[in-house]
Chain A
Amino acid sequence: MQSTMNKMLVSPSPHIHSAVSTTSLMRDVVIALLPAAICSVVFYGWMELLILAVSVASCVLLEYVITRYLMKAPSTICDLSAVVTGLLLGLNLPATTPWWVVLIGAVVAIGVAKMSFGGLGQNPFNPALTARVFLLVSYPTYMTHWEAPQGLFGVDAVTGPTPLGMVKEGLLQGQTVPQIMSDNGLSYSQMLFANIGGTAGEVCALALLAGFVYLLVRRVIRPHITLSIWATVALVSLIFWLASPDRFTDPLFNLLTGGMILGSCFMATDYVTSPMSVKGGIIFGIGIGFITMMIRYFGSYPEGMSFAILIMNAFVPLLNMWFHQKKYGRK
């Protein structure tokens, strides 16, 4: 009996572990992004597939090289977080982005925003968003060039500026919002089901929402951050729209356009760069919604989602310090 005991493990409780791991969570995020990725390829053609491939491959390769040769540590690519960053980066770029711009984006996302802070879990800013904003200010021509190549299966390519861009442009020319909408033939069903100008991942809101629901059902994320962003955006735009429907776009328009769905469902809910507590998360969401609307209405960029999320990322340590969850038996 004693010889058997010599081979037995002895360690503190608990002795079992749930099947959920970092890798399984990241795998779920990849699965949740697939509908949007597939839609983007269908609408923008093989060029888009190339962008996604370059983005994912360069993110993974960069993380491998940095961990193995710079940090001289075991590689962390097996946790699939680099795949998630790559996919998100690819979906955050216009379908016409040249491959070398994508590569620079990957260097910024993985090299600067993620690994220089110590890798997964350590970065204060969302890597894919940091890269998107970096590219937006460094290569504005490529990043706002919305003329897309031919889609697959005869699907009409999407051309022209984004709805938000049209509105900004039209307002500058002295048009009113309803005029702009009817002149450009913008409809909500179009925005929901696809076919609006924008970055590749934003082409189909429904595909993104399907992925979001998958993440909720799998309990990968909780809905409070996303919902508080939506509620804030709806409330702020409702107030302005009611005050002046000629100058300001309505709530539904703001919820369905630009990076709203992609940002609120997949970027703002990033574990690492969002607050730990529910209270903190709600405030985080309110901040994102408010800043987004301020930039959309009053800023010089047509879209403010990326900036808003990055700005609120900076407040996460404070929100974590101020807001804690309720403890048992304590006030």
Chain B
Amino acid sequence: MAKITFSLGGVHPDDAKLAKDRPIEVLPLPQTVYVSMAQHLGAPAKPVVAVGDVVKTGQVIAEPGGFISAFVHAPASGTVKSIAPRKDLAGNWMTHIEIAVEGDEWAEGIDLSDTLVTEIPEDRAFILDRIKANGVVGLGGATFPTHVKLNPAPGSVAECLIINGAECEPYLTSDYRIMLEHPKEIVLGAAIMQKVLGGCKCVIGIEENKPAAIEKMRAAVGELHLGNIEVVSLKKKYPQGGEKQLIDAVMHRQVGSGGLPISVGAVVQNVATSLAVYEAVQKNKPLITNTLTITGDCLPVEKMHNYLFRIGMPLSYIAEQAGGVPEGAAKLISGGPMMGKAIANLDACTVKGSSSILYLSEAATRREPETNCIRCGKCAEACPMGLEPFLLNKLARAGKTDELEANAVQDCIECGCCLYTCPAHLPLLDIIRQAKGQVMGIIRARAAAAKAAAEAAKAAKN
């Protein structure tokens, strides 16, 4: 049987899953947590507590600031010390709620036991409400509010729920560890989402370099007697875990430019999200914990960790728990080496979607000076969206926005395959990312102008 993978492009970086045999450890609570209001994609949450309030673990401290937004809960019990701007890991200012930790007393109604709750609620609205109230967002990277994604617009039908266990980014092992340690919870989470989506089929996709996870997940599906869930082994190829790529791999369908996965009948959720859904629905436990990996090429394996962290923990605190920043680290990254963000500020705090602190040495991360494009076409061969980065690079440098749009710069998913591949070390993605921003702005402005014109015409008619 041909191996399941996406059809266009892709690269094969060394997977470097060095921390894969390190079991998940629970991080102790720090003295202070700083909870960002931007834990998710969309509008920042609005604080509902005031300075001086005493909060319990799991209590709501901020409510959604818009339709695409999510609740935020206290990650520890204590006193609210301040509600003030603080720098996130990229150095941008965002409102944070500072809580002086005074213990770990949980709010009422949360099931903290390890008992597996296998009975799935029948009521779809109840499930959705639990997911929303517990602040579940997508943990695969985009942190899109899960209740919105699970509630597609009327008329669109979900045919397949894809659970993303690809973890195609090198180094990262947190998804792998939760699949080993909580397979049943993940599978139940998937079953819950299946129910919400009207009983569509469900495929759990895991890359072939994680055979133990595939086995555990298959066993969990079997033991729970869930017939309509299939665990498939995917070929190891980056970016297998990209939403559009995974849909192509599993369903052989491609989402149109600017379209949503649901337009081809797909809903994609990460394994960590599935675990969070299980906890939210079955245990009424809000999303205040997640797993992150401490890893890198300049770190001995015994200093690597997979940690269960709470949101709001300063990264510097976590780094110190793991033995401090290692000698030889030249770059700190939150996320994987292909799409993660370089950490400019280690005093930034964890958010729901945090997945790693990755230490890379200068040798691993050094960029060579740019030389002439040799027109080898390797960037186009690598692009999983079928774009031609060499062309977009040339057009962007010439400022030709019309041609950039015609050549689909707005479809770029910023996976980094082009820059990773380029033998001439051209900063392809750097330039394309900028051009994409510019073209997206033009597209939005045009749409707004068209809408305004239509409204003006309508008003004139009346």
The contact string, 1 if C-beta is below 8 Å from chain A, for chain B 288-303, is 0000000000000000
Given contacts A15-B333, A16-B337, A17-B368, contact A328 B8 (CB under 8 A): yes
User: Given the complex, which residues of A lie within 8 Å of B425, measured CB to CB?
Assistant: 17, 21
Contact partners of B407 in chain A: CB under 8 A: 324
CB neighbours (8 Å) of B378 from chain A are 20
Name the segment of B76-84, B190-198, B219-227, B343-351 touching the other chain.
B343-351
Nearest CB on B from A314, distance (A): 15
Shortest distance from the beta carbon of A137 to any chain B beta carbon, whole Å: 28
Within 8 A of B (CB), among A8-40: 8-18, 20-22, 24-25
A16, B13: Cβ atoms closer than 8 Å:
yes
* Mask of B364-386 contacts with A, CB within 8 angstroms, 1/0: 11011001111111101100111
User: Quick check: A15 and B13 within 8 Å, CB to CB?
Assistant: no
Closest B residue to A21 by CB, please name it: B423
Known: A9-B365, A13-B338, A17-B420. A328 touches B373 (CB 8 A): no
User: Residues of B contacting A324 with CB < 8 Å?
Assistant: 388, 407
In A268-309, the 8 Å CB interface with B consists of: 271-272, 276-277
From A9, which residue of chain B is reached at the shortest CB distance? B331
Q: Which residues of B in the span 315-361 have a Cβ within 8 Å of any Cβ on A? A: 316, 319-320, 325, 329-333, 335, 337-347, 360
What class of interface size applies to chain B in its complex with A? 35 or more
Contact yes or no, A329 B377, CB < 8 A: no
Question: In the complex, are the beta carbons of B411 and A328 less than 8 A apart?
Answer: yes
Question: Quick check: is A119 within 8 A (CB to CB) of the other chain?
Answer: yes
CA distance A167 to B319 in the complex (A): 77
Is B390 in the interface zone, CB < 8 Å from A?
yes
The interface residues of chain B lying within 8 Å CB-to-CB of A81 are 374
CB pair B371–A276 under 8 Å, yes or no, is no
Minimum CB–CB distance from A31 to chain B (whole Å) comes to 16
Shortest Cβ distance from residue B251 to the other chain A in the assembled complex, whole angstroms: 13
Scan B230-259; emit 1 where CB is below 8 A from any A CB, else 0: 000000000000001000100000111101
Q: Which A residue sits closest to B170, measured CB to CB?
A: A16
Chain B at the A interface: SS class: loop
- What's the least CB distance linking B174 to chain A, in Å? 18
**How big is the A interface, by class?**
35 or more
Residues in chain B near residue A16, CB distance under 8 A: 13, 170, 337-338, 360, 364-365, 420
Partner of B411, one of A13, A21, A329: A329
CB distance from A228 to the nearest CB of B (A): 16
Interfacial chain A residues near B342, Cβ < 8 Å: 8-13, 15
Q: Is the CB of A14 within 8 A of B371?
A: no
Pick the contact of B408: A119, A222, A330 (CB < 8 A): A330
Q: Is the CB of A14 within 8 A of B420?
A: yes
CB distance from A319 to the nearest CB of B (A): 12
Q: Are A328 and B386 in contact (CB under 8 A)?
A: yes
Interface residues of B in 109-163 (CB under 8 A from A): none
Q: Which residues of A contact B414 (CB under 8 A)?
A: 13
* A5 proximal to B (CB < 8 A): yes
Q: Is the CB of B380 within 8 A of A276?
A: yes
Most A CB within 10 A of own CB, among B344, B377, B411: B377
Kindly provide the distance from the CB of B308 to the nearest chain A CB, expressed in whole angstroms: 23
B346 to chain A, nearest CB (A): 5
Min distance, Cβ B1 to any Cβ of chain A, angstroms:
24
Q: Which residues from chain B contact A326 at a C-beta distance below 8 Å?
A: 8, 386
Which of B248, B257, B342: most chain A Cβ within 10 A? B342
Contacts of A222 in B (CB 8 A): 381
CB of B424 within 8 A of chain A? yes
Whether B420 and A1, one on each chain, are in contact in the complex, defined by CB atoms closer than 8 angstroms, is: no
* Partner pick for A20 among B385, B411, B421, CB 8 A cutoff: B421
Say how far B131's CB is from chain A's closest CB, in angstroms. 28
Using a CB–CB cutoff of 8 Å, the interface residues on chain A facing chain B are: 1-2, 4-5, 8-18, 20-22, 24-25, 76, 79, 81, 118-122, 222, 271-272, 276-277, 324-330
Q: Give 8 new A-B contacts, CB below 8 A, not counting A79-B371, A276-B390, A328-B385.
A: A4-B346, A13-B337, A18-B420, A21-B424, A22-B371, A121-B372, A327-B411, A330-B256
Q: Could you list which residues of chain B lie within 8 angstroms of chain A, going by C-beta atoms? A: 8, 11, 13, 170, 244, 248, 254-257, 259, 316, 319-320, 325, 329-333, 335, 337-347, 360, 362, 364-365, 367-368, 371-378, 380-381, 384-388, 390-391, 407-408, 411, 414, 416, 419-421, 423-425, 429-430, 433
Question: 25 A-B Cβ contacts within 8 A?
Answer: A1-B346, A2-B347, A4-B325, A12-B430, A13-B342, A14-B339, A15-B338, A15-B342, A16-B338, A18-B420, A20-B421, A20-B423, A21-B424, A22-B374, A22-B424, A24-B423, A25-B376, A276-B380, A276-B388, A276-B391, A326-B386, A328-B254, A329-B256, A329-B257, A329-B259
